[in-house]
Structure formats: structure tokens, C-alpha cells
Amino acid sequence: MAVIRLHLILIEMAGGRREFTVDAEQPVVLTALLDRFGIPHEEVGIIVRNGKSDAIDCLIRQEDQVELFPILSGG
């Protein structure tokens, strides 16, 4: 199972869930998972898959550990 961890405002967007486990025996595109979780793609700013930065259209595989952070803004 792949583990998807959400941070900050993304948790609220996903109905309060901080973490999802996903059966990714067949690789799945991250954007499809975001749709399933109810998270708008444009709200995701940083993707870390297995300790390395990745793109929003990356493939998620069975043993992946994914951290999702929102777009950070400020002055």
C-alpha cells in the first residue's frame, strides 16, 4: 500500500483526513488520487515522493511514501 500524507490546509480540503493508504498494485497518477480525495490540483505546491521532490503527474506505486504540501504564500 502507498501512503499519502497531507499537510496544512490540504487536510481540511480532504475532510480532516491527514493520511490515506492507497492500493497501488497498478501504478496510479497522483492527480487521479487528488480527484478522489477532493483536493484541487492547483492547491498542491510541493510533492515529496520517497524523500525526493516530484511532479503532480507522477505515478504512485505500491510502496511509495508521499507527502503533499499546499502552495505557500506570504509577504
- Residues 27-56 have a mean pLDDT of 97
The pLDDT confidence band at residue 27, using thresholds 50, 70 and 90, is: very high
Topology of the domain comprising 2-70: Ubiquitin-like (UB roll) (3.10.20)
> pLDDT at position 73, please?
73
55 has pLDDT over 70: yes
Are residues 8 and 19 in contact, defined by beta-carbon separation less than 8 angstroms? no
| SS3 (DSSP) at 46 | strand
46 has pLDDT over 70: yes
In total, the chain counts a number of residues equal to 75
DSSP string of 26-40? S-EEHHHHHHHHT--
Are residues 12 and 68 in contact, defined by beta-carbon separation less than 8 angstroms? no
d(CA 19, CA 5): 4
